[in-house]
Amino acid sequence: MTRLRTFLRFWYDFIVGDDWRVALAVVAALALTYALSATGLPAWPVLPLTVAVLLPLSLRSRQRHQALG
């Protein structure tokens, strides 16, 4: 592998990791936080709420995946 390919693969694994849906939800939450901050509305609750929702869903998905195989 070239160095560039290795570098890009590292960042993909670091950002996306095991679940692309969680990565997509985090990107959406960051975009929503930015959009809310541009309007002057309080944006700080978006990320904690995202984590509070995603963490149990991700853990349940991982448990179900491990139980199946």
**pLDDT tens for residues 18-68?**
788 899 999 999 999 999 999 999 999 999 999 999 999 988 888 887 787
What angle do helix axes 46-68 and 20-39 make, rounded to 10 degrees?
170
In angstroms, the CA 1 to CA 59 distance is 33
Which DSSP string do the residues of 1-68 spell out, in sequence order? --HHHHHHHHHHHHHTTT-HHHHHHHHHHHHHHHHHHHHTS--TTHHHHHHHHHHHHHHHHHHHHHHH
Q: What pLDDT was estimated at residue 62?
A: 80
